[in-house]
Amino acid sequence: MTMNTSKVFFLCSIIVLLISLILIVSIWRLKKHVSLMEMWKSFKVSSEAPPGLPVHMSSNLRTISYFDYNTLKKATGNFQPKNELGSGGFGPVYQGRLDDDRRIAVKQLCLGKSGQGETEFLSEVRMLSSIQHKNLVCLVGCCSAGSQRLLVYEFMENRSLDRFLFDNNEVFLNWKLRFKIILGIARGLQYLHEDSNVRIVHRDIKASNILLDERFQPKISDFGLARLFPEGEAYLSAQLAGTLGYTAPEYALKGELSEKADIYSFGVLILEIISSRTNTDLTLPHRMQYLPEYAWKLYDNSMIIELVDPRLKADGIEEADVLPVCQVALLCLQPSPSSRPSMSEVVSMLTSKAKQIPSPNKPAFMDRKIEINMDVILPFSLESMSESSSLSPPSDSLLNTQELCGQISIVKSAD
C-alpha cells in the first residue's frame, strides 16, 4: 500500500513538474512573440488613433512579431553607426541580423515633445498590418519598450532608389530596370488607392521611400504619414505633410488631399528616374532648375530625349522608348486633380502598347502668368516645417524650403 502511494506521489510530482516547465516555456515565448493586439493593450502611451485612422482598424490587425528591445539591440550591434542604412524623417534605420540568421532593417523612431514619432509608429504598424502587396515593404514586427519605438522590416538588399539616381552609384540602372521600377511603383500605388480593402493615400512618394530588393523589385516604404479615406469622400482637408517639390498644388496651397496628390508625386518621381536628377536643383541654369518645367519645355519642343540620363543615351535608348513614359509623367502633373489619370489608368498606359496615351497639357506650377500671393504661401509652408515634424526628413528642411522657393520663383516670375 505504501509502495503504491509512493508511486502515485512520484508520478504526480513528475506531472506537476512537466506542467510547470510547459507554462514557463509558454510564458517566455509569449514575451518574445506576442500578438500585436496584446501589445496594444500593454502600451503605457496614448493609443488614440492618428488622424484619419478609423477605430475599427485596431480589431482588424493581422498578427505580427513583437520583438524584445534587447533582441533588436543585439541584432544591430547596439545600433552602431556603421550599421546605419539611412535616416528618415523620424529617426535612423539600421541593418541587423537575428539569431536565426534573418537580415532585418530596424527603424528607431524619435519621440519628440509633440509625440509625432508615436503617431507615426501607430500609423505605420496599423497600416502595414492591414495591407499586403509585392510592391509594398513588409513589416516583420515592432517593439515598444519604455521610450523606445522600433519598427522591423524585411531587409532590402539594394536599399533605396535615390542612391542609384542621385549619389553617383557605380551600379548603372539600364532602361529595362528603370521601367520595371516605374511600373512596380505604379502597381503598388494602384493597390493602395483602388485594390486594398481600405483606400490609402501615402503622402510621401519620393525616391528615398522606394526600396529595392536583390532583383531591383521596387517596394514603397515609410507609411508614417499615410492617410485612410472614408468611402465616397473626394478629398480631405489636411495639414501639409510630405516633401516639398513632390507636393501637388491643391494640397500645398489649399490643404486638399486625395489620391491624386500621390499621383502628382509619382509624376515627379518618373521624371527623376528618367533623368537621374532631383526635382529641384538651384545650381543649374534657371530654365533647368525645376524638373517638371524643364521636362515640359523639352516635350513641347519635341526634344524630350535631352531629359534622359546621358548614361541611358550612351546605352542606346531611343526617344520612342522614353516618350510614352514622359507623357504619362506629364499627365500625372496636370494642374487639376480631375485631369490626372487614376493609377489603374497609369498602369494600363504603361503596359499596353496598343493604348494611345493622351497628349498632356502644361503641368502645374508652370503658368508664369498666374499671380500667387507669396505672403500666403511662404508662411504657411515654413510654419508647417517648423511646427510639425510631418515634413520629412527634418534634416532636409533647408532643401525643402529651397524647393518651395524654387517653385514659387518659377510661378511668380511672370514677365
Q: Which residues are catalytic?
A: 204
Pairing mode, strands 65-66 and 139-145: parallel
d(CA 232, CA 74): 47
The DSSP symbol for 195 reads I
Contact 290, 406 (CB under 8 A): yes
* Residue 113: alpha-carbon gap to chain centroid: 24
Residue 221: burial class (beta carbons within 10 Å; 0-12, 13-18, 19+): buried
* Residue 161: alpha-carbon gap to chain centroid: 12
Please, what is the end-to-end C-alpha distance for the chain in angstroms?
112
Cell triple for 304: 524630350
d(CA 335, CA 328): 14
Alpha helices by DSSP H, 44-174: 69-75, 116-130, 161-166
